């Protein structure tokens, strides 16, 4: 199922506007697209000191092309004050990389469950759901996926998650220190 570009754009924009640094900053927009969300943040806040670097699987203006997981593993993350993981699903792999690399900064994310509500197997495994359990009924875990995500973040040192949610779409942020 294809994603919907900038669904709930106002909510995503407001969340970012409420949680960005007061001083000039650099954001790594790991699911960069055309940068519409950050254009809207700049417009809403009247800020001209937001420097955006994008990564996208497709060739897009203002973005390097490629798999953001590879970029997140290889670049100097300390150059970025903010990392934006506005995915069409659940950015488990990307957040895991940030944890492993001890990233310090603000992280925005999108957590969207597809029509069947499937959850990344690695997130389920870290939540104690075994492979035989997953194979028996892969969709049964959908109703608790958001709570599993929040618990997983907490288990990795995240103290507070701010979010705006509608149904199975959650737009959030947290700070890693």
> Does any domain span residue 171?
yes
In angstroms, the CA 127 to CA 56 distance is: 30
> Does any domain span residue 141?
no
pLDDT of 6 > 80? The answer is no
Mean pLDDT over 150-156 rounds to 96
Q: Are 163 and 170 in contact (CB under 8 A)?
A: yes
> Does any domain span residue 142?
no
> Does any domain span residue 147?
no
> Does any domain span residue 131?
no
- The count of domains in the chain is 1
pTM: 0.92
pLDDT of residue 83: 98
In angstroms, the CA 42 to CA 56 distance is: 20
Q: Are 97 and 30 in contact (CB under 8 A)?
A: no
> Does any domain span residue 134?
no
> Does any domain span residue 124?
no
**74-83 tens-digit pLDDT:** 999 999 999 9
pLDDT of residue 2: 45
> CATH number of the domain that 75 lies in?
3.40.50.150
Q: Which domain holds residue 41?
A: 9-114+158-176
Tokens at 68, concatenated: 């953001």
**10-62 tens-digit pLDDT:** 999 999 999 999 999 999 999 999 999 999 999 999 999 999 999 999 999 98
């Amino acid at each position: 199922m294809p994603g919907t570009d900038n669904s709930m754009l106002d909510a995503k924009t407001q969340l970012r506007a409420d949680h960005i640094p007061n001083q000039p900053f650099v954001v790594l927009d790991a699911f960069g697209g055309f940068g519409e969300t950050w254009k809207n943040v700049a417009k809403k806040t009247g800020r001209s000191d937001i420097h955006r670097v994008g990564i996208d699987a497709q060739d897009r203006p203002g973005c390097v092309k490629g798999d953001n997981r590879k970029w997140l593993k290889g670049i100097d993350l300390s150059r970025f004050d903010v990392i934006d993981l506005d995915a069409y699903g659940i950015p488990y792999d990307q957040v895991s990389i940030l944890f492993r690399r001890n990233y310090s900064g603000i992280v925005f994310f999108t957590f969207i469950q597809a029509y069947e509500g499937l959850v990344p197997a690695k997130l389920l495994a870290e939540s104690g759901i075994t492979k035989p359990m997953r194979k028996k009924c892969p969709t049964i875990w959908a109703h608790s996926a958001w709570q599993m995500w929040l618990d997983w973040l907490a288990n990795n040192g995240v103290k507070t998650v701010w979010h705006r949610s509608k149904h199975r779409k959650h737009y959030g942020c947290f700070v890693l220190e």
